[in-house]
């Protein structure tokens, strides 16, 4: 704990320098900038805003709580990175998980590196650093690559140099964005790996693509099994003998589905795998409807 306190105490003198309006640092060439830029400075969390260019759109709550617990015990080991946007105001470039976890713990300040950059540089720094260091899902990485191409005007070759990835690897990520949005969501939720996604890209027909996606989920197919399924489908398509890829739903499940729907007064979907296991999905339309279903399931009056 003593080490964490010492680490978070870094830059308190520099923090005072930043609070002096008469010596406001706006550019790297300003007086005192060399003492701040590149050094760890203690900044108040209230003066930091989230970066609108952050590629990560969702954060695992359990993982965030674990990080918060670690910060409570050890402090913020790795400083966040911010850019100065106006006097006393900063914007996150990277480290949003640490920023959020620090707020959960109730910290008032956080150690930070300060950079002076325009919006384009900030976007590139955020995207490149997240691609390299954060545990983004394949679709988030693909979206980050796409933004680097469209908003920073980088070629795949230039991006390869920036992020240290082969051009073919970048191209494979970008191809994932051609998948149906439902399948992309499945990848973001962890139901599919990038390997599954790469196999599905080879199916041009969206309807058949979704049919195979459902079979992957229902039968818990491995990447290799998925690749074999796609190969058989494509060979059948060429020979004119391709058939829809559907998992036959047993009659007892069809009957049970109607009974569930009638009991809950809601749309019910049942997915069954070839091994006999499956999922029961009950739809709800609002918070009130969810609470109604909860009472029915728990038997509460």
Residue 128: partners with Cβ closer than 8 Å, 6 or more residues away: 148, 162, 163
CA distance 174 to 197: 11
Spatial separation of the C-alpha atoms in residues 163 and 256, rounded to whole Å: 52
**Residue 117 DSSP SS3:** coil
CA distance 282 to 284: 7
C-alpha–C-alpha distance, residues 75 and 109, integer Å: 11
CB 184 within 8 A of CB 173: no
- Let me know: does 111 contact 42? Beta carbons within 8 Å: yes
Q: Is 22 a catalytic residue?
A: no
- With beta carbons less than 8 A apart as the criterion, state whether 126 and 53 touch: yes
Given 61, 86, 96, 255, which residue is catalytic? Answer: 96
**Spatial distance between the Cα atoms of 251 and 253, rounded to a whole number of angstroms:** 5
List the catalytic residues.
Answer: 96
């Amino acid at each position: 704990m003593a080490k964490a306190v010492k680490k978070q105490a870094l830059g308190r003198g520099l923090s005072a320098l930043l609070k002096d309006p008469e010596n406001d640092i706006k550019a790297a060439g300003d007086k005192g900038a060399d003492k701040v830029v590149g050094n760890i400075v203690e900044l108040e969390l209230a003066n930091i805003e989230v970066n609108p260019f952050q590629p990560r759109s969702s954060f695992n709550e359990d993982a965030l709580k674990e990080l918060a617990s670690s910060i409570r015990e050890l402090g913020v080991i790795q400083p966040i990175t911010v850019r100065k946007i106006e006097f006393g105001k900063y914007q996150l470039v990277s480290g949003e998980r640490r920023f959020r976890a620090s707020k959960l713990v109730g910290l008032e300040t956080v150690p930070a590196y300060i950079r002076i950059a325009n919006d384009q540089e900030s976007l590139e720094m955020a995207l490149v650093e997240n691609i390299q260091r954060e545990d983004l899902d394949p679709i988030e990485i693909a979206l980050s690559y796409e933004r680097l191409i469209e908003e920073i005007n980088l070629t795949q070759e230039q991006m390869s140099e920036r992020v240290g990835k082969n051009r073919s690897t970048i191209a494979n990520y970008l191809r994932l964005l051609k998948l149906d949005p439902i399948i992309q969501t499945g990848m973001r939720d962890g139901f599919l790996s990038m390997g599954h996604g790469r196999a599905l890209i080879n199916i041009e027909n969206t309807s058949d693509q979704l049919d195979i996606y459902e079979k992957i989920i229902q039968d818990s197919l491995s990447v290799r099994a998925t690749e074999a399924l796609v190969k058989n489908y494509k060979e059948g398509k060429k020979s004119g003998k391709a058939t829809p890829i559907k998992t036959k739903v047993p009659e007892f499940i069809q009957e049970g589905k109607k009974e569930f729907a009638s009991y809950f007064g809601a749309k019910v979907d049942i997915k069954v795998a070839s091994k006999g296991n499956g999922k029961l999905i009950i739809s709800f339309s609002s918070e009130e409807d969810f609470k109604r279903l909860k009472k029915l399931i728990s038997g509460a009056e």
